[in-house]
Amino acid sequence: MDKQPTPTAWLIKSAAAAALLLLACGIATARFGHTLQLPVTTTRDGALVTMNRYVDNPVPDIVLVGSSMTVRLGEQYFKTPRVRNLALAGGSPITALDIIANQRQLPRLIVVETNILSRAPDAELVKRFSTREGHETLFLRPIRTAIAAYENRVHAPVTHAEIEARLKNLLEQPPSNFDNRVYLQRAIGEMESEDPGVAAKANVETLGHLIDALEQRGTRVLLMEMPYAPPIEASRYVRITREIVHRAFPDRSRWLPIDVDRSELRWDDGVHLDTRSAVLVSRYLDERFSSRLRDIR
């Protein structure tokens, strides 16, 4: 009788076959353009990638959590080393903060964006990355390694010097003159119609508990408000959220103000900073991170 393959051998063969298939797709796409396409990344897919990367890598010194407003602050914009951005597009800062609090090791400094607090935390995501349930098993890691090796060979990573040169050139340009009035009016209408009060109060209460738990373990947690376009600042949503958060956290030393020249900032839609503005805000925060880290024992 033929010898039956063991379960381990079967898993290894399956992983190898999957790796070859993904590599073949990558080669075909690189050679023939968009003839073959992988599925488009969804909001949940992006959150999974972000959190998977966090739990599988060394703990950074500084972590940013928040909504899509903070997603715009690319890690490559910071000169401060070991900064990780765990903001989730379409999500709540409570989700990432809860996941961080459930890890064995913590960053020295966490900065929480408080602009969007009307969204419920993603309990499924928290459970997945707090218990390691459903997390990547060891036999799948060769697939990730193979794909990464292929990508690095075909698309060599941009060097730090190249990034700095591009950012320097961007900051030397004048602010954008893009006409965003249509998008701005739409955003104002949405933010005038939504009352975030009930959800924001619940999330602020949870935020307070998480801050206490994290700081008892030696991490410092600061709060920040990302800048809006001036017409958005007066909207109902912003007023109510700001009142709730500042009432809960009145200590000014808890806040990391973003005092960037607003005349230099532009927003694609009144809410989300454009790239040049995001770099300006990131560099402003950069200047304050070093002193904050010195204050943390």
Q: Estimate the share of the chain in helix, then strand, then coil, as percent rounded to the nearest 5.
A: 55, 5, 35
**Token pair for residue 42?**
């969804």
CA distance 57 to 66: 20
In a domain, 157, yes or no: yes
In a domain, 155, yes or no: yes
User: What's the average pLDDT block by block, 10 residues per block, for the chain (297 residues)?
Assistant: 50 50 45 35 73 93 97 95 95 96 96 97 94 48 53 61 92 96 96 97 98 97 97 96 98 96 96 98 93 76
Query: What is residue 139's predicted lDDT score, i.e. its pLDDT?
Result: 43
pTM for the full model?
0.79
Asked if residue 56 lies in contact with residue 99, where contact means CB atoms within 8 angstroms, the answer is no
Q: 23 in a domain, yes or no?
A: no
Contacts of 75 (CB under 8 A, 6+ apart): 83, 84, 85
Dihedral of CA atoms 55, 40, 117, 257 in degrees, nearest 10, equals 70
> Is residue 217 one of the residues assigned to a domain?
yes
**Residue 223 in domain:** yes
Q: How many domains does the chain have?
A: 1
**First-residue to last-residue Cα distance in the chain:** 67
Specify if 15 maps to a domain. no
pLDDT of the residue at 161? 83
> Please, what is the Cα angle at 86 between 117 and 186, to 5 degrees?
45
Residue 162 forms part of a structural domain: yes
Locate 47 and state its tokens.
């959150």
Residue 25 lies in a domain: no
Look up the CATH number of the domain holding residue 170.
3.40.50.1110
List, in order, residues 6 or more apart from 195 with CB less than 8 Å away. 236, 237, 240
Q: What's the pLDDT score for residue 134?
A: 43
For residue 94, what are the domain limits? 43-295
